[in-house]
Structure 1
Amino acid sequence: MVYDAEDTRRRIFDAAAAEFAEHGLAGARVDRIATAARANKQAIYLYYGSKEKLFAAVLRAKLEEVRVSVSLDPDAVAESVGQMFDWYREHPELIRLLLWEALEAGDEPGEGERERRDAFREKVHHLVDGGVACHLPEDARVRAAQDLLFTVMGLISWNFAVPGMCRLVLDEETDQAALARRRETVVEAARRLATANPAATPPARGG
């Protein structure tokens, strides 16, 4: 049988994503990743260099996945938030990875921080170009768009960071029932944020 390097990398990546989401960086074990991936440990170090670099590669790929899958449309904020909510419900591992990163990271900037910052700047400028906070000076528009983006991210992600707490607070029997309620609430909250902000829709240009 011909060795398929790309398939091996994919299996390692998938196994690592599951291992890191469950155990974090410190608690993850390369031997468990190798076993789940049906690969040897040497292949992991060959392709990724170290456990730390493998974690960074997994997190970077997951962030890129959500970036290309959904975005915050300045003309349809509520609808975009609903799509983002659904994406995170289908991919809960990203929230877990981000929580592990926050718990285990030191004070120094993490690997890929500049790349991730640039990606968020791109999202912010997309909102500004779409008319968010158009009544404000340019620098204030950027800050308003940053705040809107982070507020929306918080509205969505907390539901998946603490699903058990979500179920208890809402007094629902299952996580699924609680999340169904939360989706409606989060989308409505986003709609109100957009409509309450006169910058969400550019003013009409009169002749």
Structure 2
Amino acid sequence: MAYDAEDTRRRIFDAAAAEFAEHGLAGARVERIATAARANKQAIYLYYGSKEKLFSRIVRDRLEGLRVSLSIDPDSVADSVGQIFDWYREHPELIRLLLWEALEECAASEEGERDRRDSFQEKARCLVEGGMAPHLPADARIRAAQDLLFTLMGLIAWNFAVPGICRTVLDEDTDGAALARRRETVIEAARRLTAGQ
């Protein structure tokens, strides 16, 4: 069977995503990634350069997946929040990767930082163009949209960042029951935050 470089690259990427989500950048081991990917360590360095570059590419890829999969509908922010909540439930690794990135003070590459900023600016502009806060001056409308986005992100992400605390505070028996309850609460909070916008 011929060597399939693209398949090897994908296996490494998927194995590394799981390893980084579980152990962070510092705790991740190239040997474990290679074993899980059925590849050798040299292939990891050949395709990705370093463990740090691989981590950065994975975070960027997962954020891009979120961006491409979901948008915030200015006419129905609460419904969009429900869809984003569901996406995070199906992709819990993104929260873990972002938490590891913050804990380990991994600086996003300049390109990655620019991509993130552009993506969020696009979402804020979409909200403003959809009619958010028409009573405010243009620059204040953008800032209000950015603040709303970040607030909504926090309302959603915290549920997945600390599921045990969520379950305990809500006095639910399972994470699933707590998340179902929180989903409705977060949607209602989004509805109230955007009422009259």
The residue aligned with 2:191 is 191
Match among 102, 108, 127 for residue 110 of structure 1:
108
Residue 45 of structure 1 aligns with which residue?
45
Residues 25-36 of structure 1 mapped to structure 2, 5 A cutoff: 25-36=25-36
Cα separation, 2, equivalents of 1:188 and 1:37: 42
Aligned to 1:160: 160
Asked if 1:136 is matched to 2:127, the reply is no
Deviation at 1:161, TM superposition (A): 0.1
Gaps of 5+ in 2: none
Match of 2:100 in 1: 100
Q: Which amino acid aligns with 1:50?
A: S
**Count of aligned residue pairs for this structure pair:** 195
**Residues of 2 paired with 1:43 and 1:116: CA distance?**
28
Secondary structure of the equivalent of 2:100? helix
- Establish whether residue 22 from structure 1 lines up as the match of residue 22 from structure 2: yes
Structure-2 separation of matches of 1:55 and 1:182: 30
Q: List, as ranges, runs of 4+ consecutive aligned residues in structure 1 with deviation greater than 2 Å.
A: none
Distance 1:42 1:8 in 2: 12
Q: Deviations over 1:41-60 (max 9, x none)?
A: 11110110000000000000
Per the normalisation by structure 2, the TM-score is 0.97
Partner of 1:13: 13
Give the counterpart letter for 1:135 in structure 2: H
The one-letter code of the counterpart of 1:161 is: A
- Partners of 1:155 and 1:60 in 2: how far apart? 22
CA deviation profile, 1:61-81 (whole Å, cap 9, x unmatched): 000000010111110101000
Matched, 1:147 2:147: yes
1:17, distance to aligned residue in structure 2 (A): 0.5
Distance 2:182 2:19 in 1: 28
Distance 2:105 2:72 in 1: 28
Deviation at 1:118, TM superposition (A): 1.3
2:83 aligned with 1:83, yes or no?
yes
Question: Given the two structures, how large is their TM-score scaled by the length of structure 1?
Answer: 0.92
Alpha-carbon distance, 1:2 to partner: 1.0
- CA deviations on 1:62-110 (whole Å, 9 max, x unpaired) are 000000101111101010000000000000000000000000116xx52
**What fraction of aligned residue pairs are identical, expressed as a percent?**
78
Q: What RMSD over aligned residues (CA atoms) do the two structures have, in Å?
A: 0.9
Cα deviation, 1:21-57, whole Å, max 9, x if unaligned, reads 0000000000100000000111110110000000000
Q: CA deviation at 1:113?
A: 1.1
